[in-house]
C-alpha cells in the first residue's frame, strides 16, 4: 500500500511545483512595464527618471565633466531642453517616448535612453 501511495504523492508534488513555476513565469509582471529614462554619461548611468508614474513636467539639470544639460521629463516623454555644448544638436532631437532612438549629446558624452515601452522595432537605422 505504502509503495503505491508514495509515488503518487511524489507525482502530485511534482505536478503542483511544475504548474506553480509555469504560472509564475506566465503571470509575473514584466520588468519593462514602467516607462523610465536612463541618463548615461561616459557610459555610466547617472540618473534614472520615472516617466509613467507622474503627470507633472520636471526640469533636471545634469552636470557632466564637459558641461551641463537641462532635461525635461514629462508624462511619457523626455527631451533635451538646453545645454551649453558647442552645437546644441541635442536640443533639436525632439521628444522621445521609447521609439528606440536615444537622445545624444556627443560633446558631453551624454546619452538618454527611454526604456520600458514596447517599441515596434528592435533597432532604428538612420
Residues in contact with other proteins by CB under 8 A are 3-4, 7-8, 10-11, 14-15, 18, 21-22, 25-26, 38, 40, 42-43, 86-87, 93-96, 99-102, 104, 106, 109, 111, 113, 120-126
User: What is the separation of C-alpha 126 from the centre of its chain, rounded to a whole number of angstroms?
Assistant: 22
Minimum separation from the CB atom of position 1 to other proteins (A): 12
- Separation of alpha carbons 19 and 108, rounded Å: 51
CA distance 119 to 124: 10
- Backbone φ and ψ of 103, nearest 5°: -90, 135
Taking the least distance from each CB to other proteins, the nearer of 27 and 56 is: 27
Cβ neighbours of residue 19 under 8 Å, at least 6 residues apart? none
- Shortest distance, CB of residue 123 to other proteins, whole angstroms? 5
- The single residue listed with the C-alpha cell 537605422 is 125
In the complex with other proteins, the residue whose CB is nearer, 53 or 126, is 126
User: What angle (nearest 5°) sits at the alpha carbon of residue 38, between those of residues 35 and 43?
Assistant: 155
Instruction: Please state the closest distance from residue 19 (CB atom) to other proteins, in A.
Output: 8
State which residue, 56 or 118, has the beta carbon closest to other proteins: 118
Question: Nearer to other proteins by C-beta: 56 or 121?
Answer: 121
Q: Min. distance of Cβ 91 from other proteins in angstroms?
A: 13
Amino acid at each position: 500500500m505504502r509503495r503505491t501511495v508514495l509515488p503518487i504523492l511524489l507525482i502530485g508534488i511534482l505536478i503542483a511545483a511544475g504548474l506553480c513555476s509555469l504560472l509564475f513565469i506566465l503571470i509575473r509582471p514584466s520588468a519593462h512595464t514602467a516607462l523610465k529614462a536612463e541618463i548615461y554619461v561616459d557610459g555610466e548611468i547617472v540618473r534614472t527618471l520615472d516617466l509613467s508614474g507622474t503627470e507633472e513636467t520636471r526640469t533636471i539639470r545634469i552636470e557632466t565633466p564637459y558641461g551641463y544639460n537641462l532635461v525635461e521629463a514629462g508624462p511619457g516623454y523626455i527631451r533635451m531642453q538646453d545645454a551649453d555644448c558647442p552645437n546644441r544638436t541635442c536640443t533639436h532631437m525632439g521628444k522621445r517616448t521609447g521609439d528606440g532612438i536615444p537622445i545624444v549629446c556627443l560633446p558631453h558624452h551624454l546619452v538618454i535612453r527611454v526604456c520600458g515601452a514596447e517599441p515596434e522595432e528592435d533597432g532604428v537605422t538612420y
